[in-house]
Amino acid sequence: MIVLSDTVGSEPFWQRVVAAANVDDDFRQRGAHLRELAFGFEVGGRRIGLCIERGSLALVEPDAPAFVVAGPADEWARLVAGEKPYGAAINVVHGQLRVSGDALAATWANRPLWQLFRLTRHLVASGDSHD
Amino acid sequence: MTEIVGRYVDVDGVRTYYESAGSGKPILLMHTAGRENRQWQGVMQRLAPEFHCVAPDLPGHGKSWPLAGNVCLSDIESIQAWLWRFAQTLGLERPAVMGCSIGGNLALLLGARHPEVRAVIALQGAAHTPTFTDGALEMMTHPQVNLMHANLDFSMSLVGSAASDEARAFSEWGVLSIIPVAQQGDLRAYAHCDSRALLENVRCPVLIARGTEDWLVSQDMVEAARDGLTQAPRVELRALSGLGHFPHLEDAELVAGMAGEFLREIG
């Protein structure tokens, strides 16, 4: 399944991801330890703001993220489609995404983010990722 | 079933735990980063009828005591030197060396450093693996990081689709029971490993095998290692379809069969 690189940078796509995460027991459990952890995804030139509060995910203004995951849209497309694992996408050798900001916060968010990208893979595979 | 026996031996003042089984030409087996020798039990049981298999826990791993100050080795040359002293202490004569991931890198390095090595079998073995940043390594022992929690998805993503349920469960247990300072030391050694210039010193037969679903150790990395082995009399690179970063754990029967065949052929 191909996900277009402009889709992955769009707010409607991430609204669907947020909705999927909030009904997913695994995501809620893996993010339950987080308290108002705001972070950003920079997809190409577009910034998406997200926040996890006790396992619940929300879209927020991307103005004060603890950390940002940033990189080219085509690498994001591979990540959300499940063609590349989160660990590979942010790996210094194998990936084109980079995590900046508070490394501790980013580490705390590891498990919910891994689960989030499992959910995006399902969304893309189901064809529910497009407008 | 072949009996695997656990013993202790003193190596450089470190009370070192190792497991062994079988008799015959010796094979030194080296575990992956932060883990311990139980990874090799499936392979040991299958090779023991023909070979003397010996698998240590590195200092600070499994049931081996750490170094003075409760620290672990953290550079690749120190680890290979320690492993060689372990082999000498046990009187292993011309051992084959076999390892996975950092153990695979160590097998290649041992082959380069010690002409007595009979053969090298390097699973996911490479000579240059700068795959972790210093920042990521620092996080592993941060007082507010639970490494078992933070690393679980990463580690399990490295397991291949053909791995048995038992192997998958034990791999997960390997993360849940990890010792952060041991994992950090090993991965620091792994990330800074660059033995490319030494590969031409390897003069023994070498088998490199790679689980094809491992995203951390790429095909390019193992091919680069193979291509650097210009003086080895025999070099093979095999693809292990459906397996990931831990082939010896994921399919012990396949790996033991492959290793046994290779070692029989070289004599």
Which domain, by its residues, includes B79?
5-266
Q: Does A114 touch chain B (CB under 8 A)?
A: yes
pLDDT confidence band for A105 (50 / 70 / 90):
very high
Q: What's the rounded Cα separation, in Å, for the pair B140 and B186? A: 11
Write the pLDDT tens digit of every residue in B215-231: 999 999 999 999 999 99
Tokens of B139: 């996080």
Q: Out of B135, B157, B216, whose CB is closest to A103?
A: B135
Stretch 149-208 of chain B: residues touching chain A, C-beta under 8 Å: 149-154, 157
The distance of B214 to chain A (nearest Cα, Å) reads: 10
Q: What's the rounded Cα separation, in Å, for the pair B17 and B40? A: 14
Q: Looking at the 3D structure of chain B, how many domains does it have?
A: 1
Strand pairing category for B96-100 and B25-30: parallel
Which residue in B61, B81, B85 sits closest to B181, CA to CA?
A: B61
User: So what's the pLDDT on residue A3?
Assistant: 63
- From chain A, pick out residues whose CB is under 8 angstroms from the CB of B216: 87-88, 91, 94
Q: What CATH number has the domain spanning A11-91+103-126?
A: 3.30.1050.10
Q: Is the pLDDT of residue A126 over 80?
A: yes
Q: What's the rounded Cα separation, in Å, for the pair A24 and A70? A: 25
Per-residue pLDDT, averaged over A116-124, amounts to 96
Say whether B215 and A110 touch across the interface (CB within 8 A). no
The string of DSSP codes covering A56-72 is EEEEE-TTS-SEEEEE-
* ipTM entry: 0.93
Chain A residue at shortest CA distance from B217:
A94
Q: Does A115 touch chain B (CB under 8 A)?
A: yes
* Helix or strand holding residue A46 (H, E): strand A46-53
User: So what's the pLDDT on residue A128?
Assistant: 72
Task: pLDDT tens for chain B, 267 residues: list them.
Answer: 789 999 999 999 999 999 999 999 999 999 999 999 999 999 999 999 999 999 999 999 999 999 999 999 999 999 999 999 999 999 999 999 999 999 999 999 999 999 999 999 999 999 999 999 999 999 999 999 999 999 999 999 999 999 999 999 999 999 999 999 999 999 999 999 999 999 999 999 999 999 999 999 999 999 999 999 999 999 999 999 999 999 999 999 999 999 999 999 998
Chain B residue at shortest CA distance from A88:
B215
A112 vs A62, more confident:
A112
Q: What's the rounded Cα separation, in Å, for the pair A55 and A112? A: 8
Q: Return the residue in A26, A84, A90, A107 with the most chain B beta carbons within 10 A, the one to mutate for interface testing.
A: A107
pLDDT confidence band for A24 (50 / 70 / 90):
very high
Write the pLDDT tens digit of every residue in A71-100: 999 999 999 999 999 999 999 999 999 999
Say whether A88 and B149 touch across the interface (CB within 8 A). no
Which residue in B9, B260, B254 sits closest to B121, CA to CA?
A: B260
- From chain B, pick out residues whose CB is under 8 angstroms from the CB of A92: 130-133
Average pLDDT, chain B: 97
Q: What's the rounded Cα separation, in Å, for the pair B95 and A65? A: 54
Which residue in B100, B87, B98 sits closest to B34, CA to CA?
A: B100
Burial annotation B244-260 (CB, 10 A radius, 16+ → b, else e): bbbbbbbbbebbbebbb
Cα–Cα distances in angstroms (integers) from residue B9 to residues B31, B64, B65, B91, B93, in the given order: 18, 10, 11, 12, 17
- Which stretches does DSSP call E strand in chain B? 5-11, 14-21, 25-30, 51-56, 96-100, 119-123, 206-211, 235-240
Say whether B139 and A92 touch across the interface (CB within 8 A). no
* Helix or strand holding residue B258 (H, E): helix B252-266
Total residue length of chain A: 131
Write the pLDDT tens digit of every residue in B91-108: 999 999 999 999 999 999
Say whether A94 and B133 touch across the interface (CB within 8 A). no
The distance of B17 to chain A (nearest Cα, Å) reads: 33
User: So what's the pLDDT on residue A2?
Assistant: 58
Q: What's the rounded Cα separation, in Å, for the pair A78 and A94? A: 13
Q: What's the rounded Cα separation, in Å, for the pair A68 and A57? A: 16
pLDDT confidence band for A5 (50 / 70 / 90):
confident
Cα–Cα distances in angstroms (integers) from residue B101 to residues A58, A130, B29, B59, in the given order: 39, 40, 12, 17
- At B209, which CATH number? 3.40.50.1820
Chain A residue at shortest CA distance from B141:
A104
Write the pLDDT tens digit of every residue in B50-63: 999 999 999 999 99
Q: Tell me the count of A-B CB pairs closer than 8 A.
A: 53
Tokens of A30: 């893996």
Q: Does A108 touch chain B (CB under 8 A)?
A: yes
